[in-house]
Amino acid sequence: QGMPSLNTVAEPGQLGTGAQIASIERIRDSFVDYQIRTENSTLSQYDTRSTFLANIEAIINEPSNTGVASLIGKFFDSWQELSKKPNSSNARTVVVQQSAALTDALNHTALQLNKLQENAQNLIKTNVTDVNSMLNQIDVLNREIVSVKSAGNMPNDLMDKRDNILDELSGKFNITIEKSSFEGINLRPTDDNG
């Protein structure tokens, strides 16, 4: 035990009387984890749907004065005028112009919708790659966790990493997690039909 001096603030009997850590334990509520992951999956699904519907809404641009519906109306109006004046070159010119405008708008809309479809397919490919990467990381972490736990130690940091990846994975699709021995898990997609 140390003696007090000018260089130390310790008094006799103070050294070595601090707290002793016996173990560090993780405190996680598996029910809350389940709820968060389920709702995270639902939120992600509706966020994605909302994004693509907003894109479709912008492409179709209805109701508006320049949208397809308005051009269809003008197209039929021009034919109505032509039926009243079949010999009028002006009425024929208007029909041709309205037909061209409607055709251009339909072609442009179809092109934009095709691009959006390609973007959706690319997003799906990216998500599949991300999911596969996450599954591989979870597999590696799961093996390490089981190995450390079976040796009698507590792999808290590895379990935290695995939980973070599981939380992220739940945003990609619904997952069901079944606990196995030595803190291992079995992971599978949730069966939405039953």
125-168 pLDDT, tens per residue? Answer: 999 999 999 999 999 999 999 999 999 998 999 999 999 999 99
How far apart (Å, rounded) are the C-alpha atoms in residues 5 and 69? 91
Q: State the Cα–Cα distance between residues 99 and 78, nearest whole angstrom.
A: 9
Quote the CA–CA distance of 7 and 128 in Å, as a whole number: 63
Model confidence, pTM: 0.70
Tell me what percent of the residues of the chain surpass a pLDDT of 90: 61
- Which among 147, 134, 140, 143 has a CA at the least distance from the CA of 175? 134
CA dihedral 67, 68, 74, 76 (to 10 degrees): -160
Q: Report cis status (omega within 30 of 0) of the bond before 155.
A: no
pLDDT tens, position by position, 70-116 = 999 999 999 999 999 999 999 999 999 999 999 999 999 999 999 99
| b/e 93-127 (16+ beta carbons within 10 angstroms → b) | ebbeebeebbeebeeebeebeeeeeeeeeeeeeee
Q: Rounded to the nearest 5 degrees, what angle is found at the Cα of 83, between the Cα atoms of 81 and 85?
A: 70
Cβ atoms within 10 Å of 147's Cβ, excluding its own: 14
Tokens linked to 154 = 């507590």
